[in-house]
Structure 1
């Protein structure tokens, strides 16, 4: 396996990140990575705690002369989003990530890279093992299952940590300090359908919509990328109405927090309408390629003849599902009035999957204003209840309200200006950082989120900029030197 990234600077960070890429750590299956971090702390002879949900806490005393500094939590999550291209053979529960360097970026071969949040974890590990970096008391917090439920953050108990300041290293634009984030909730809609026998004189087709970029459903939602589920159902509504097409099954998207890149449908078409059906699929492929030429240059939509399915959805359930998905909001709902360029509320129509008489529709709603997020929930509930679905919301997590009087914010602004000759941008982020949840458990914490430049997280195009990782590391080291006194 190529380990060329372990030779990059700073080696303390990159060696640890390379080690993480060799350990399978998809969300909810990240136990090996958590054990790796636990063993790392114990080998250093540092106090190492594993809490009741599996978070790892490693405590390092202050270096000589820094004992009076406020205690810092260095925080990151050990899990990663498992996404791969359809032609890539990769088992995220067994196989290491294949990394390579190209044009100043570290990338992965056909899969997500795991820089989100492996770089932050590796940085904390580098500080823990350092012998020449001055710092006050350090408490490194490595949380589990951030990407699919923030289980680690929700499960963290009060009293385990003694810190005053939290440095979350899970944002993705170098030169920016994040002081607030969106909250979110999961929407779950369930349709029931009767399985009916396919009609005679029909031909079965598999419709495949592939080649979309996908991406992080918070960070990338503003980019206007195609949503495979929305595009698939736009086509289905047309061919069902025009040619009597019947839907047997649908399988679109795989993760709530990833914009769906692929969707597949099995349908039957009356034999005398096959030509018109295939021509319409080709027409829609051209329409999509034209509409999304700038954002989705590799979009592919094809229909291939396949074996006749054993059953179809009953027609009423089919129509209710198609109409509901076609009407479902998706993407940016509203931009912030108070922070220009920041998305206030959004909805990701993430997963639509049918099997055994049930179709599940799963969405992730994000919002930096709780009342606005509640309104999106209400809209979604009304729509799907009218279509006959059961609706429930789960996994609600709070946002993180900015603190304009943050002491560590002022320190980090000054440090960045001194080191790099400019003031960092102060921003909110339309993503579900753990800060809001952790701040509810430890309300006295002063919190900042920062990181290197990562592009296209939650997709196989994920990459991290090498130059910004070096700047991020230097910024972290200098910040630790300048932490306020108690």
Structure 2
């Protein structure tokens, strides 16, 4: 961590090192929250923890800036907990092992938490500074952004006095975000009926590993493999001909992360074992050919396991395989209004086999409500055809772009003045919390900026050091340019 603390800007990186040292996966942010609260009170700052666990920290304006509009800098406390299969790490107990690799900060076998730890660190560094010029300042740190936006849903009217909100959860330097996708969770419950396995069979676990995964919004258009969908494809092609019986199908760990790994436990007649091994090798070669450019490390493996006491009935197995194979996944439509931006997408994120059912958790994202509703209708029809159940929950709105946003104009001009080039004004296919803040604060002017973060929501996550410095300089310059209250 000492290597991080020496990077520029030091106040930001010193805070990020502290954040990495305190476990804070989604729904386990308490220790980090308590650390921040104790620090803020020691600094003499006003601290409020609301009823859901969000933190609001307030700091008076610096001398000469008392009449400026109040600004809230916003970040989320939690991080996505993802690790490589061979990495021993408990996200609720173990610190993130961050290290410097050239112009990047990475983590050893886990997600880094630069999403949104860098933004949080920048806000805290500003709160702790006596030299940075700014008007009245509020910092809002929300909980549980990555696993349901519980904190953003809980923000109430009157908690904030700010007229302007700067969200720090964007992930590309040189881009200014003025809108984002909304989303909804879709959970299939596929009935599971069981029977005793046939005689003369051997049991194996077929595992698909080595995929890149990544953010199910930001990375969904890159054509990366979805481990759940790829194993379902194999079963749809080979289960009947090889007389495979499914014992369990499990894959992915988060609805908002493209699944990097999945496994299916199955039985195969002894006479078909050589054919199964051949089929696995051929399918691996096929995927390596199809996905060579995006998934160079994918691997299929068979491991013998104890013979199970039960397998899915043929009817239940057929329903499950067909549902998984036909379920939409990936980009559904690109935006006509914003070039290069995904409009609507679906991620089949998590499959879990239980005693009486198999649960399939997906995340639908869309820039427009009608796009989200269309995919919900498709999944409803699929569930009806399959005799399964699908429930939709946790819907959150998108953040409608405002091309006339005054704060966006300030950020745009400030960026031009500092770097002598135009930034890109963007809409992001991800669930920034800004859309939810618009309900209690409909008149709040919002913008989102951040440094360059690659591969968030996966163990390959990294943040570019140079762009952290650029983001910091831009943020401070924007704060100094906030206009006076009218």
User: TM-score of the superposition, structure 1-length normalised?
Assistant: 0.99
C-alpha contact 1:37 1:56 (8 A) present in aligned 2: no
Asked if residue 209 in structure 1 is aligned to residue 203 in structure 2, the reply is no
The alpha carbon displacement at 1:43 in A equals: 1.3
Q: Residues 298-320 of structure 1: CA distance to partner in whole angstroms, max 9, x if unpaired? A: 00011122211121111111100
- 2:181 alignment partner in structure 1: 182
Whether 2:137 is the aligned partner of 1:138: answer: yes
Q: Give unpaired runs (5+ residues) of structure 2.
A: none
Q: Structure 1 runs of 4+ off > 2 angstroms?
A: none
Aligned to 2:376: 377
For the residues of structure 2 that align with 1:220 and 1:410, how far apart are their CA atoms? 28
1:303 maps to what in 2? Answer: 302
Q: For the Cα contact (< 8 Å) 1:182–1:400, is it kept in 2?
A: yes
- Cα distance per residue 1:210-255 (max 9 Å; x no partner): 0000000000001100000000011111221211110000111110
1:419 is aligned to 2:381: no
Q: Deviations over 1:310-353 (max 9, x none)?
A: 21111111100100110011000000000000000000001111
Greater displacement, 188-197 / 18-27: 188-197
Partner of 1:432: 431
Secondary structure at the residue paired with 1:410? Answer: helix
Please list the CA deviations of residues 266-301 of structure 1 after superposition, one character each: whole Å capped at 9, or x if unmatched: 100011111111100110000001100000000001
For 2:5, the equivalent position in structure 1 comes to 6
* Aligned residue number for residue 255 of structure 2: 256
Mapping 1:43-54, distance limit 5 Å: 43-54=42-53
Match of 2:84 in 1: 85
Superposition pairs of residues 137-176 of structure 1, within 5 angstroms: 137-176=136-175
The 5 Å alignment of 1:231-250 reads: 231-250=230-249
- Equivalent position of 1:20 in the other structure: 19
Aligned partners of 2:401 and 2:37: how far apart in 1? 32
Answer with 325-334 or 382-391: which moved more: 382-391
Residue in structure 2 matched with residue 359 of structure 1 by the alignment: 358
**Partner SS for 1:347:** strand
Cα distance between partner residues in 2 of 1:31 and 1:317:
42
Counterparts of 1:355 and 1:278 in 2: how far apart (Å)? 27
Give the corresponding residue for 1:60.
Answer: 59
Once residues 349 and 384 of structure 2 are traced to their aligned partners in structure 1, the CA distance between those partners, rounded to angstroms, is 18
Counterparts of 2:409 and 2:121, CA distance in 1: 25
Match runs of 1:251-290 below 5 Å: 251-290=250-289
User: Take 1:335 and 1:45, find their aligned partners in 2: how far apart are those partners?
Assistant: 49
Q: Which residue in 2 is equivalent to 1:123? A: 122
Q: How far does the alpha carbon of each residue in 1:345-380 deviate from its partner, in whole angstroms, 9 at most, with x for none? A: 000001111121210000000000101110011001
Distance in 1 (alpha carbons) for counterparts of 2:285 and 2:356? 33
Residue in 2 that maps onto 1:325: 324
For 1:315 and 1:43, the matched residues in 2 are separated by: 64
Aligned to 1:451: 450
C-alpha displacement of 1:431: 0.1
Of the structure 1 ranges 354-363 and 212-221, higher mean CA displacement relative to structure 2 is found in: 354-363
Looking at structure 2, the residues matched to 364 and 203 of structure 1 have their Cα atoms a distance apart, in angstroms, of 36
- Establish whether residue 406 from structure 1 lines up as the match of residue 390 from structure 2: no
Moved more, 233-242 or 144-153: 233-242
1:3 and 1:309 map into 2 onto residues whose CA distance is 50
Secondary structure, aligned partner of 1:126: helix
State how far apart, in whole Å, the 1-side matches of 2:217 and 2:32 are. Answer: 25
Q: CA deviation at 1:40?
A: 2.1
For the residue of structure 2 that corresponds to 1:242, the secondary structure is coil
The 1-side partners of 2:64 and 2:434 are apart by 30
CA contact (8 A) 1:27 1:145 kept: yes
Secondary structure in 1 matching 2:351: strand
| SS state at 2:438 partner | helix
Within a 5 Å distance, the mapping from 1:382-401 to structure 2 comes to 382-401=381-400
Q: Distance in 1 between matches of 2:323 and 2:13?
A: 47
